[in-house]
Amino acid sequence: MTAPPLIRTLACLAACASAIALSALAWAAPPATAQCGAESRRELHVTAYRSGWPTFAFVREIREVDLPAGSVSLSLSDVPDTVQRETVGMKVLEGAPLDVLEQTFGYDLLGPRALMRAAQGESIVLDHANAHSGELQPVPARVTATNDQGTVLQTQEGYTFDLGAERTRFARLPAQLSARPTLRWLANSPSAGKRRIELTYLMRGMGWSADYVATISRDASKLDLASWITFNNGTSVRLDHTHLALVAGQVNRVHEGNIRDEAQTIVLRHATLGAAERAPSRESLGELHLYKVPTPTDLEAHSVKNIQLFSLASVPIRRRWSAQLWVHPERTHATQTESPTLEFEFANDRKSNAGTPLPAGTVRVMAPDQKGTAHLVATTSIKDTPEGEKVALQAGRVADVRFVLKQTNYESAWFGAKKATFSLEMRNRSRQGGTARVDLHAGGDVQLEVTGAQVTRPSAATWRIEVPLATGETKKVPVIARREPRRP
């Protein structure tokens, strides 16, 4: 017997409603969770940069995760707390693909203030000590509001703040707080099984610098140069078995405004000095230089590690005293006396036992005493220096060498021409010889005539004089300055 049309229609509507209800229940079901910490990490590669502020690094992780089928919430913890979340990328290298729906970075870490902030609107228990017996007495309260000024609580007696409890108890831990920095993804997994995923991101608070120790020989004719990489992990996460690479050179970056580098505000309480490891290999990265540390290294949280970059021995150097003086024919006032700056110059080429790109950094210059014991004599810096260029290490002003520029004659013609004669006297009272270099700066309409010395022109308004100066020697160089009248 065939059912009436109305009954068939109602049955069809009931079946559709049942299917919709089942679909809604399936849709409303919470996703399965998969939490993976540092134990899931199979590879870790960190490329640190030193250009700009704040310091930053590029991180590439390989992790292995086991995911169920269907909707899944994947959490990867033990990532640095300074991850730039907008740079995070995740892709599957091995296994079934994942359809990622959304990404979250949980950087609000579990702590007293964060716990109180997340408990707004919830009930807590404050344990106060009795003033006479010392027993803890519970006081139920409700967190009304909390901010940088404090916390407002509601008790049975009304609203209050700053109760000074000996202990504060919470009924639960808020889900939005993490014990460790965590990246979370809501994804659809078409099938269950293990996957090998690649995680990439930029992070702040991790950078490096180059440090050098230059040891001058006793006769000041050669130096030994040792270079160290000073690597700073300013984050709160320990990174074990890290494949470390360092980029030297200026990387163009978009200005990100006033970014507060959280990691740099933390004092490096656990700073350590790592043992010297094998020298990193160097290769080109476009116009930059990439240094790869050959062996994996462990990076403690909030720590500094030193890794030897290279060591050069018996590099010939040139000892030089440099000064800047200004010359003008109409300057008839006091004599100029200058204590020059001592410089040690060497050629960064293979002929000089060097010939390697030198990253910009700090140089500590050491010199031996009469017994051969090295002492610090100067701290200076160098810029990024390619192979084939010269490097000058400034060791500060010296007291035993004097450059004196004295005017000895002055002539002035009625039509405006000016002429002045100067005597440049260079005296060496130190125990070692070297080269005296004086840069004479003149105005744009002044011309100089220098005799008895080698002269070069670094610029249109500069005359550079260089003469050898032995121990105890004094040399005088005549200088004539002329200023012709301007013609209409």
Q: What is the pLDDT of residue 23?
A: 44
Say what percent of the chain tops pLDDT 70.
Answer: 82
Of 249-263, 289-303, 389-403, the range with the highest mean pLDDT is: 389-403
Asked whether residue 268 is domain-assigned, the answer is no
**Residue 467: pLDDT over 90:** yes
Structure tokens at 462: 């500069």
Q: What is the pLDDT of residue 367?
A: 92
Asked whether residue 76 is domain-assigned, the answer is yes
Q: How many domains does the chain have?
A: 3
Same domain, 430 and 323: yes
Same domain, 33 and 83: yes
Q: How confident is the model at residue 83 (pLDDT cuts 50, 70, 90)?
A: confident
Q: How confident is the model at residue 342 (pLDDT cuts 50, 70, 90)?
A: very high
> What are 418-443's pLDDT values in tens digits?
888 999 999 999 988 999 999 999 97
Same domain, 193 and 79: yes
Of 200 and 444, the structure prediction assigns the larger pLDDT to: 200
Is residue 156 classed as helix, strand or coil in its secondary structure?
coil
Are 42 and 240 in contact by the 8 Å Cβ rule? The answer is: no
Of 441 and 23, the structure prediction assigns the larger pLDDT to: 441
Label the pairing between strands 361-368 and 206-216: parallel
Of 315 and 278, the structure prediction assigns the larger pLDDT to: 315
Structure tokens at 222: 């050669």
Q: What is the pLDDT of residue 51?
A: 64
Q: How confident is the model at residue 183 (pLDDT cuts 50, 70, 90)?
A: confident
The domain that holds 123 is classified in CATH as: 2.30.30
What is the mean predicted confidence (pLDDT) over 287-296? 84
Same domain, 38 and 148: no
Same domain, 409 and 484: yes
What is the rounded radius of gyration, in angstroms, for the C-alpha atoms of the chain?
36
Domain that holds residue 192: 28-108+179-203
Same domain, 486 and 410: yes
Asked whether residue 324 is domain-assigned, the answer is yes
Query: Who's near 432: CB < 8 A, 6+ residues apart?
Result: 220, 319, 471
Are 420 and 409 in contact by the 8 Å Cβ rule? The answer is: yes
Q: What is the pLDDT of residue 258?
A: 41
Structure tokens at 415: 């039509």
Q: What is the pLDDT of residue 224?
A: 96
Asked whether residue 196 is domain-assigned, the answer is yes
Same domain, 122 and 42: no
Q: Which helix (H) or strand (E) holds 233?
A: strand 222-233
Q: What is the pLDDT of residue 176?
A: 62
- Residue type, position 244, single letter: L
> What are 30-51's pLDDT values in tens digits?
888 888 888 999 999 999 988 6
Q: How confident is the model at residue 268 (pLDDT cuts 50, 70, 90)?
A: very low
Asked whether residue 475 is domain-assigned, the answer is yes
Asked whether residue 60 is domain-assigned, the answer is yes
What is the mean predicted confidence (pLDDT) over 299-311? 90
Asked whether residue 274 is domain-assigned, the answer is no
Same domain, 59 and 148: no
| Residue 455, beta-bridge partner list | 465
Same domain, 35 and 157: no
- Residue type, position 119, single letter: A
Are 218 and 372 in contact by the 8 Å Cβ rule? The answer is: yes
**Residue 184: pLDDT over 90:** no
Same domain, 139 and 193: no
Asked whether residue 263 is domain-assigned, the answer is no
Are 365 and 216 in contact by the 8 Å Cβ rule? The answer is: yes
**Residue 259: pLDDT over 80:** no
Same domain, 187 and 158: no
The domain that holds 467 is classified in CATH as: 2.60.40
Same domain, 47 and 92: yes
| Residue 59, beta-bridge partner list | 46, 201
Say what percent of the chain tops pLDDT 90.
Answer: 39
Q: Which helix (H) or strand (E) holds 25?
A: helix 5-28
> What are 97-131's pLDDT values in tens digits?
988 888 887 666 666 777 777 777 787 787 777 77
Q: Of the candidates 287, 307, 185, 322, which has an alpha carbon nearest to the alpha carbon of residue 243?
A: 307
Query: Who's near 370: CB < 8 A, 6+ residues apart?
Result: none
Calculate the average pLDDT of the chain.
82
Structure tokens at 475: 């040399």
Provide the H-helix boundaries in 93-137.
112-118
Q: What single string gives the DSSP state of each residue in 366-419?
A: EEE-TTS-EEEEEEEEE--B-TT-EEEEEEEE-SSEEEEEEEEEEEE-TTS-EE
**Residue 174: pLDDT over 80:** no
